[in-house]
Amino acid sequence: MTLLLASSWGDMDPYFGKWREMLVRQPGGIEVRLYPDELGDVADITAALVWDPPPGLLAGLPNLKLIQSLGMGVDHIFRHDDLPAGVPVARLVDPDLVTRMSEYCVHSVLHYHRDADRYDRDQAAKRWNPVSYPAASTRRVGIMGVGAIGADTAGKLKQLGFDVAGWSRTPKDLPGVVGFHGGEGFAGFMQRSEFVVCLLPLTAETEGILDAGAFDLMPFGGGIINAARGGHVVDADLIAALDSGKLGFAKLDVFREEPLPKDHPFWSHPKIRITPHNAGITNPVTAAAEVAENYRRAMRGEPPSNIVDPARGY
Ligand code: NAP
Ligand code: GLV
């Protein structure tokens, strides 16, 4: 029984080295191999812990009982349609990662709420220009996807006094959060949301959801914070909405192509702020116990936790 750590991103050390160190320490110990150098006999591999696995790798592991995502998202696994049939795919739901993500979103909302860019410009020009700003209670923030991360973010923004709405596939009842769901709730949600925070999984249904039609619905001068996946945004539509003044800002952590190509217009757009997909990086120190527990369950023939529905894609 062996767990394979794999990614198509090439050399993942020292990150994978830290994962191995943490997994080996778990109760019962886990034999860990790093792909590609330590692959060895594929018949030994019973679980795979992956981020963007190399195409064909998982289908070639005959005794696989668990495919465990290294992150909360699983689109990097479902991207290829060559997954071995019947092997459960599980995602991580690590409280440490949830906290990092909601911290990113709250920080981004506060940044635009307090018009922080204005004071960067004023400082550069040695300009003393105090400007009043609206109360948080008058700011309408919309969270797209109120799952593990979205619900935590909504709760923290509520605590800070913002007027928060959530949009999900199925109805939700989060304290103090105005609920919208499904296709029928989308327009009303976008129309009220001055700040849209995207925390959806990337699926066939959510791909390209932040397009010209969605931006048109938003209040004039609003903006988006995308910490989910680059595929949610139609890049050209975002640039057009920012250039026309319809949108006032975009904060982006994730991109259709990562690393973001050097010639991509997002890099130099004055209304876009970029972070390099580090809103929430999985921490092996906090997440290894969950992976180890799932591994033990799968080896005992029990269903792992946080299993993903392949038909839904999340
Ligand atoms: P989650 O718990 O699965 O929640 C997903 C939410 O999206 C749920 O509320 C779900 O609705 C909603 N949703 C899904 N499909 C929808 C649709 N078609 N229409 C409306 N709502 C829909 O996901 P999570 O753990 O919060 O993570 C969200 C995403 O964050 C991940 O998939 C990943 O891509 C991204 N992420 C990014 C980073 C980073 O560093 N940038 C780190 C971690 C995660 P229901 O509740 O009704 O099912
Ligand atoms: C990171 O992007 C994750 O899905 O955890």
Quick one: three-class SS letters along 199-223? Answer: CCCCCCCCCCCECHHHHHHCCCCEE
Q: How far is the CA of 166 from the centre of ligand 1 (A)?
A: 12
- Regarding whether 67 and 99 lie in a shared domain, the answer is no
Q: Cβ(149) to ligand 1 under 6 A?
A: yes
Closest residue by CA, ligand 1 atom 35: 228
Q: From residue 303, how far is each of 65, 88, 294, 297 by CA, in Å?
A: 10, 8, 8, 6
Q: Are residues 170 and 254 in the same domain?
A: yes
Task: Please report which helix (H) or strand (E) contains residue 141, including its range.
Answer: strand 140-144
CA of 292 to the centre of ligand 2 (A): 19
Instruction: Provide the pLDDT for residue 104.
Output: 99
* 142 ligand 2 Cβ < 6 A: no
pLDDT on residue 11:
76
Clarify whether residues 172 and 235 are in a common domain.
yes
On whether residue 192 sits in a domain, the answer given is yes
* H helix intervals, 116-248: 116-124, 148-159, 182-192, 212-217, 235-244
Evaluate whether residue 307 is within a structural domain. no
Report the nearest-CA residue for atom 6 of ligand 1. 145
Q: Measured from the CA of 206, which atom of ligand 1 is nearest?
A: 18
Give the pLDDT of residue 215: 99
* Ligand nearest the Cα atom of residue 101: 1
Alpha-helical regions (H) of 4-94:
15-24, 75-78
State whether the beta carbon of 72 lies less than 6 angstroms from ligand 2: yes
| Protein residue closest via CA to atom 19 of ligand 1 | 169
202 with 191, same domain: the answer is: yes
DSSP for residue 14: T
Give me the residues of the chain with pLDDT under 70, please. Answer: none
Position in ligand 2 atom list of the atom nearest CA 92: 5
The finding on whether 228 has its CB within 6 A of some atom of ligand 1 is: yes
In this structure, the answer to whether residues 255 and 129 fall within a common structural domain is: yes
Whether residues 126 and 261 share a domain: the answer is yes
pTM of the predicted protein model: 0.98
Residue nearest to atom 5 of ligand 2 (CA): 71
**Domain membership of residue 29 as a residue range:** 2-94+282-299
Is residue 254 one of the residues assigned to a domain?
Answer: yes
Tell me if residue 277 is catalytic. Answer: yes
Q: What integer pLDDT is reported at residue 28 of this predicted model?
A: 85
CA distance 155 to 149: 10
Domain membership of residue 68 (yes or no) is yes
Ligand nearest to the backbone CA of 279: 1
pLDDT reported for residue 148: 98
Measured from the CA of 171, which atom of ligand 1 is nearest? 47
Based on the domain organization, do 105 and 69 belong to the same domain?
no
Is residue 306 situated within a structural domain? no
Name the one residue in this structure whose structure tokens are 């090439």: 10
Residue nearest to atom 1 of ligand 2 (CA): 71
Cβ of 229 less than 6 Å from ligand 1: yes
- 313 domain residue, yes or no: no
* H-run or E-run covering 287: helix 284-299
CA of 72 to the centre of ligand 2 (A): 5
- 143 close to 150: Cβ distance less than 8 angstroms: yes
Task: Kindly report the CATH number assigned to the domain that includes residue 120.
Answer: 3.40.50.720
The reply to whether 309 falls in a domain is: no
Question: Among the options 80, 192, 269, 277, which is catalytic?
Answer: 277
Return the pLDDT at 10: 78
Tell me: do 194 and 287 sit in the same domain.
Answer: no
CA distance 87 to 110: 42
128 in the same domain as 66: no
What phi and psi, each to the nearest 5 degrees, are found at residue 90?
-120, 145
Same domain, yes or no: 148 and 202? yes
Half-sphere exposure (Cβ direction) of 17: Cα atoms closer than 13 Å? 3
Specify whether 9 is located in the same domain as 22.
yes
Active site residue 232: no
Beta bridge partners of 45: 2
* In a domain? residue 305: no
Number of structural domains the chain divides into = 2
What does the pLDDT read at residue 282? 97
Q: What is the dihedral of CA 121, 124, 127, 133, to 10 degrees?
A: 30
The answer to whether the CB of 73 is under 6 A from ligand 2 is yes
Do 22 and 133 lie in one domain? The reply is no
Axis crossing angle, helix 95-113 with helix 284-299, rounded to the nearest 10: 140
